[in-house]
Structure 1
Amino acid sequence: MDILKQHRIRYLQGIGTITGPDRVTVRGHDEEPWEIPWERLILALGSAPLDVPGIPVDGRRILSSNDALEVQTVPKSLLIVGGGVIGCEFAFIFSAFGSQVTVVEAKSRLIPLPSVDEDCSRVIQREMAKRKISFVLESTVERVEDKGEGLRVFLGASAFAESQPGKIRRPASLDVEKVLLCIGRKPDTTGVGLERIGVKVDHNGWVVADGEMKTGVSRVYAIGDVLGPSKVMLAHVASREGMVAAENAVGGAVRMSYDAVPNIIFTMPEISNVGLTESQAREGGFQVKAESVLFRNIAKPHVLGEIGGMAKIVFDAGRGRLLGVHLAGPCASDLIAEGTLAVKSGCTIQELADTIHGHPTLAEIMSEVFMKALGRPIHG
């Protein structure tokens, strides 16, 4: 709140509804509603957990990802539906608190996002196994039955299955204390009144905005999760979109760029990536080469006692230009900043290998992988 006061920003807590072309009504808990006039409007409505048909959330034993942030006791056993970003983050968190965690994912790997390199998924799967976090791939939850003291979850084959029938070892059912649903997000626009001013949404309800964050309605902008997966649903991206929208709202002509966005996943170890994966680079017609180095090959991870993980780079062998950086390891969320700048600036592998990195630091992993790409690794 201090930073809002510092910038002379008025903060109102309540539910806002667009009531006209130049007016928003905000209703608090116990007070009369505020009528707020506006000349420029920035929509930062966010998203909400997606529902699973046939598995109703009750907030007690069947939880949404929002509910998981408010649990008062740690469940002895927890089944997480969805092995994407949110599901895997919660898997490590609840495991660290002592829960016996099982993750059920419909696709053939955990965190099966196009932007996440398959090697990073393999690292996370290995680390889950070390922590005794179970995961079942190419499977879906068919139904959940109340067994009094717990829940019985019935599993079936996924429509996304790539393996031959019978190759996946899948239990018919699992008994757990709680179920956590983490299968995606939906736009949080119900009751806002977008239709009153003509803001367009796509077929899934996500708000449509251009590179200047304009919605198509004069003087109305949109940022963040409410734009959906056609943009990038990350907090730091939303922050940058907010800067673009604010500058354009006062007469600027700034465009948002999504060319070099760091994607960060707070698993244990962390995952971060920027640029193209190896498969994306091949599909793009580049002369692709990739190299990777294990964190255990440098000194600092041994000091920290966190030696799991690797650093991988993807580059154009013809021009020597860096195309992508993929990290799974300690402080990957911090280390990706170097890769983001390098991808954004179009740096070559030679330029990056010639950059001195401090010792002993985790950043040496970047120096090592760049040197390896030139055929001159220091630590093998």
Structure 2
Amino acid sequence: MVVGDIATGTDVLVIGAGPAGYVAAIRAGQLDLDVTLVERDAYGGTCLNHGCIPSKALISATDIAHDAGHAEEMGIHADPAVDMTQLMTWKEGVVDQLTSGVEKLCKANGVSLMTGTARFADEHTARISHSGDGQGSESVEFEHAIVATGSSPIEIPNFSYEDEPVLDSRQALSLESVPDSLVVVGAGYIGMELAGVFAKLGTDVTVVEMLDGILPGYDDDLARPVKKRAEDLGIDFHFGRTATEWYEDGGGGIRVATEAAGQAVERPDETAADGGHAEAEGEDETEDPEATDDLELSAEKVLVAVGRSPVSDTLDLENAGIETDERGFIQTDDRARTNVEHVFAVGDVAGEPMLAHKGSKEGQVAAEVIAGEPAALDYQAMPAAVFTEPEIGTVGLTESEAEEQGFEPTVGQFPFRASGRALTTGHTDGFVRIVADGETGFVLGAQIVGPHASELVAELALAIEIGATVEDVAATVHTHPTLSESVMEAAENALGHAIHTLNR
């Protein structure tokens, strides 16, 4: 403790109030622990303030505008105008409602809230520095600590986020006007989601990706409909390329210089939480005819979306003996515990996949372990989603992964073009695929690309979690007409008796 500090004590110190941290704090409060939650920026973290929620708000709004303006086949003729100022005001209202709700829920569950930056002084003490003149600092002594400091956008050489034309995802979600043209560096989930938003707002969008396709880590048959839809929106792609620098063109815009990526162009086999701009070795399989030449692209803005890195370098972890890997992620066990027994790490700072719901689950488990509950993490039923058009939702094993683990999988698939409900919405791209164990029938995994895939995958995550069989899914009566019937039909297809598609 530093002389002159104010000193307080707590059972559980939670550092970071994002979806992992605030959930951990609330759950610990419910378990009658004395909890102190420290946040240096805004309650709700990146997800609620600058990521998941504002991006999905803009995706929903631009989908409405675009669908209304392209519904001539339905007899609807419209030319929607988007008021960017009003759109941003509405988006901020959504964010404010959720973040204020987080603060109220924490207080209602007895959580003490502190604003400031936490650093470990030793393995049982943290110093909290308060921003602002004369605010000073104080020490908090804790029995247990939960680190939930999240992640931040990766910055690549020669593209500083302090430069006005260069945007990270947070800045892109707060633009007050629509750029005429935009270069997106990175074709992972963040880059592809935002590319779609701006394309639907009328921006000329070009995507530069060092690998040989979009959405690294997702099977090509999942990524292909997304790429086709993006191209239909007018988005241009340059694969097998890296962005090297930018400069002003003298006419109010910029030029983004790119070069061939060399060997780092083959899509990796496993899902990359960093948005797909990580190094991957392989042969050059790019279809871009310009991949071996230098190429400059004109734009008004450039969005860099090459992934995120853990926020762990501000914590003075060494003072508490907490270890990280070479990338800065804090290593944990299946109870979210670090190498220091009474210190836990949850959310993005604890490693991939960087998913808000994964962090929330880790936060719950950490709080319950601290309270002496028999809790542990199990990631086999952890779903993931990409909010592109069409959406992608996945959970569990793919067919090839099941084979690698020694299963003899049975696979069922149902196309949305055969779904009555999908036809009534005008969105029929994609399919539902279920992977089951051929011997026992247990559901092992699912891959969905199509309308509302992010919602539909939850049923199959539940099936994996409770040990349901493909027969259980097929026998469950689904409301007609709904998109969820496609899940039932895929299960029936795996059994060889689907009604509305040909059986394999």
Q: Could you state the TM-score of these two structures normalised by the residue count of structure 2?
A: 0.70
Give, in angstroms, the shift of residue 282 of structure 1: 3.3
Q: CA separation in 1, counterparts of 2:483 and 2:464?
A: 20
Answer whether contact 2:212 2:287 (CA < 8 A) is retained: no
CA shift in 2, pair 1:117/1:315, >3 Å: farther
Q: CA separation in 2, counterparts of 1:146 and 1:280?
A: 47
Matches within 5 A, 1:75-94: 75-94=179-198
**Residue matched to 1:156:** 259
**Residue matched to 1:41:** 145
Q: CA separation in 1, counterparts of 2:461 and 2:184?
A: 32
Amino acid at match of 1:75: P
Deviations 1:221-259 (A, max 9, x none): 110100122xx2110010010011111112234211111
Give, in angstroms, the shift of residue 289 of structure 1: 4.2
Determine which of 320, 327, 347 is the counterpart of 1:224.
347
Answer whether contact 2:395 2:445 (CA < 8 A) is retained: yes
Question: Which shows bigger deviation, 291-300 or 85-94?
Answer: 291-300
Determine which of 461, 481, 497 is the counterpart of 1:376.
497
Q: CA separation in 2, counterparts of 1:6 and 1:60?
A: 41
Secondary structure of the residue aligned to 2:112 is: coil
**Residue matched to 1:168:** 288
Answer whether contact 1:155 1:170 (CA < 8 A) is retained: no
Q: CA separation in 1, counterparts of 2:159 and 2:374?
A: 46
Matches within 5 A, 1:182-201: 182-201=305-324
Secondary structure of the residue aligned to 2:488 is: helix
**Residue matched to 1:273:** 394
- May I ask how many residue pairs the two structures share in their alignment? 376
**Residue matched to 1:365:** 486
Secondary structure of the residue aligned to 2:432 is: strand
- Considering only aligned residues, what root-mean-square deviation do their CA atoms show, in Å? 2.1
Q: Are residue 71 (structure 1) and residue 71 (structure 2) matched?
A: no
Percent sequence identity over aligned pairs: 35
Answer whether contact 1:59 1:67 (CA < 8 A) is retained: no
Answer whether contact 1:139 1:170 (CA < 8 A) is retained: no
Secondary structure of the residue aligned to 2:161 is: coil
**Residue matched to 2:276:** none
Q: CA separation in 2, counterparts of 1:81 and 1:289?
A: 38
Give, in angstroms, the shift of residue 49 of structure 1: 1.0
**Residue matched to 2:473:** 352
Determine which of 436, 450, 454 is the counterpart of 1:333.
454
Amino acid at match of 2:260: A
Q: CA separation in 2, counterparts of 1:59 and 1:137?
A: 25
Matches within 5 A, 1:235-254: 235-254=356-375
Deviations 1:23-45 (A, max 9, x none): 22223333333432222110001
Determine which of 212, 223, 235 is the counterpart of 1:108.
212
Secondary structure of the residue aligned to 2:162 is: coil
Determine which of 103, 117, 125 is the counterpart of 2:227.
125
Secondary structure of the residue aligned to 1:108 is: coil
Give, in angstroms, the shift of residue 319 of structure 1: 4.0
Deviations 1:305-332 (A, max 9, x none): 3323221222333443332211112221
**Residue matched to 2:37:** none
**Residue matched to 2:75:** none
Q: CA separation in 2, counterparts of 1:170 and 1:105?
A: 13
